[in-house]
Amino acid sequence: MSDKVTVLVAGSWGTALASVLAANHSEVYLWTRNPEQAAEINKSHTNEHYLPGNILPSNIIATTDMETAVVGSKAVVIVAPSSGMRQVAHSLKQYWKEDMLCVHATKGFETESMKRMSTVISEELGIAEANVVVLSGPSHAEEVVRHCPTTVVVASPDDKAAAAAQELFINNDFRVYTNRDLIGVELAGALKNIIALGAGLSDGLGFGDNAKAALLTRGLAEISRVGVEMGANPLTFAGLAGIGDLVVTATSQHSRNWRAGSMLGKGMPLPEVLESMGMVVEGIRTTQAAYAISAKLGVQMPITDQIYHVLFKDRSPRSAVESLMGRDRKAEMEAISQETWEQWHS
């Protein structure tokens, strides 16, 4: 079998994963729409816009041609922004072969349809959703590309597909666990970005560690509540894709979502925040989708609700915090009711 592996596209996370794969495989093709970026990667072995100051392995080959990138590969790893996932998967379709392994590492929803990324990919490639493996977990691209010890999870209800993805990525710097709960891993990875925005808002307002700890804890309960309603295993949210990814994204200045939230908390308008970031902030689109999902399912997501109103309804961050603190008194374990757990186990 060919030892060629393909990564679509060459953003920060796609480039970092390509560097992991380059340690394990002889040829890693990295697809980008940008000819100048492809030339830089091939000539200088750098991707300065997304991962400045890092030298990439020489066996990463960048190309703007999808056919060149995909044909002959044993696996395709899709790391497109959620807003572009359907288009990238559609472009991949004509070169797709049934014996290829499909992995995606995008944390978000298709805003218009509220669909998870594995659903979008399965629709466009014409394959079962169980044949799409999701990679998630606490993993900053800036640290992965420097070979800092990192642990992630790959999920699929198909044990063989999950094991193949584990084998594809695992090495001494990049430890990989498997999980059968594709829905839970995918939802956890997407929804934690909303809570990371909230953590940044809290820090931007100068509210301190007590407030952020409460936000993360109640945020995890919120993620778990909607996740279980959508068919996830509640235990997934206590793992790498859940609390692990939530902690790293909500507490680190590497996190785009935390940085965006912090700027908003300091009073910067959203358009200026997005312009200054220069990269996709998935939590913003995810907040739109999650707000719609919570309304559709009738599941309370109070933190998401307040962040939605800050982002899109001109509510001040301070007013949003006051609304959360002034909610009706609750018992803590109402986060996930016993009936919901019993329903999942039945």
Question: 74, 192, 212, 296: which one is catalytic?
Answer: 192
CA quadruple 262, 267, 272, 274: dihedral positive or negative?
Answer: positive
> What is the rounded radius of gyration, in angstroms, for the C-alpha atoms of the chain?
20
192 in active site = yes
What does each C-alpha distance from 76 to 37, 162, 304, 336 come to in angstroms?
Answer: 20, 14, 33, 37
Contacts of residue 62, defined as CB under 8 A and 6 or more positions apart, other chains included, come to: 10, 29, 30, 31, 32, 37, 38, 39, 40, 41, 42
Query: What are the beta bridge partners of residue 171?
Result: none
- CA 63, 64, 70, 71 torsion-angle sign: negative
Q: Which two tokens stand for residue 248?
A: 């790293």
Q: Measuring CA to CA, which residue among 45, 25, 24 is closest to residue 10?
A: 45
DSSP state of 328: P
Residues annotated catalytic, as ranges: 192
